[in-house]
Structure 1
Amino acid sequence: MPVDVEDASIRLKPIMTDADMAMRYDPEYRKISERFHKDPAYFSEVFARAWFKLTHRDMGPKTRYIGPDAPKEELIWQDPVPAGPTDYDVAVVKTKIADSGLSDSEMIATAWDSARTFRGSDKRGGANGARIRLAPQKDWEGNEPARLAKVLIVLEGIAAETGASVADVIVLAGSVGVEQAAKAAGVNITVPFSPGRGDASQEMTDVESINVLEPVHDGYRNWLKKDYIVSAEELMLDRKPSLWG
């Protein structure tokens, strides 16, 4: 029995926490405990991965690694996104978007919904990766799945025709929508754009982890997932998103 911290002559009965008890008596946890006991190498590998995730979860994508010891492996909890093309003709893409028949509001709303998941704290979410076209984002209530599906069919076709990524085309469509709406109001503007966003696959997407990014309010679109005691505009005060991410 362990020695009392103040009086070495006293030995105390060990106390098991709920977690300790679960590892011994819960049937599923016990299987894990027994495997760790029988296979120390497996335990070492699992523990190292869990510790690395714990200490790096908030760092963002692997592009933020520093030093020669950084792992080369793609880890799904880092929301991997492949590099996107940059050698396509942006003007051609914008022309095809403008001629697509999509309304300004459809294009702007889709681009905004794609970008608004971005979190500056851990660099998760945002337009890069075009995960708005994948589960779970394509089915989120706030993304208006019916409208989103209609817009994505058109934009994915343009991406295939021009060699641009879907992520870039979504962003460009939002820019076209803003430019056209401004022009209709008598103001000529050009929204700055930098190409190179990539398209993530469903296999690169941890659905359970991504679900925590689901918006429950949006003051820019005056939308609430459910009734709150404050308005959507008040709930947006803790957010500082960029235009498209």
Structure 2
Amino acid sequence: MRIEGATALVTGARRGIGLAFAQALLDHGAATVYAGVRDPSTTTVADARLIPLALDVTDPDQVAAAAEQVGDALIVINNSGVQSGVGLFEGDLDGARREMEVNYFGTWSVSRAFAPVLARNGGGALVNMLSVASWRARVPAVGYAASKSAEWALTNALRTGLRDQGTLVVGVHVGYVDTEFVTNIDAPKVTAESVAAQTIDAILHDRPEVLADEPARTVKAALSYRVQGDPTADIPD
């Protein structure tokens, strides 16, 4: 599908992967990119085509207002996400509930609100920023993994539910991305720009899934024949 001349919305676009998505869309000729952020006053705008938009994905009124304001959207990228660090046996479960509210229900809410917008505009594309955690749970971040697994299931349902209106639904899976949130983690990381570039390529070529790094590709391939937790498994715990 086309990006040049299109209007797009990116949630969680103040920094990191969300900002990289917004910049990549502009670089590929998008006419307008709305950057969904909690507080637009904290966003520095260097391009007149980038418009900050107050959007808390857990607030139904703000989601509805966004769908009304961005009525010409052809591309919607659900990037908003949180990670609380709640472990399997420790940590406040309110953090896990927050992860589910933002990562799962927030994505669902935005997708519901914008489905008719995309239909009116010819189908377009809906992108969900997922994670290798959709398939591989880690004990120190089980709440986050659960929310991303739920978001993956939602993504698959959206592919079915939006097929008849011609909407491309893209799921983006990746391991660690080099942002401020993982500065203390000693592991291979990909850049936010690389994730955004691969996602843009998927939109342009109508591909429904992005496996943005080697961990995502390895874990996805291992799902078909091993169970996580099995000592002989090829999916690392």
On whether the aligned pair clears a TM of 0.5, the verdict is no
Give the TM-score category using the shorter length: under 0.3
TM-score, normalised via structure 2 length = 0.23
Higher relative contact order (CA 8 A, sep 6+): 1
Task: Determine which structure has the larger helix proportion and give its number.
Answer: 1
Bigger radius of gyration: 1
Task: Determine which structure has the larger strand proportion and give its number.
Answer: 2
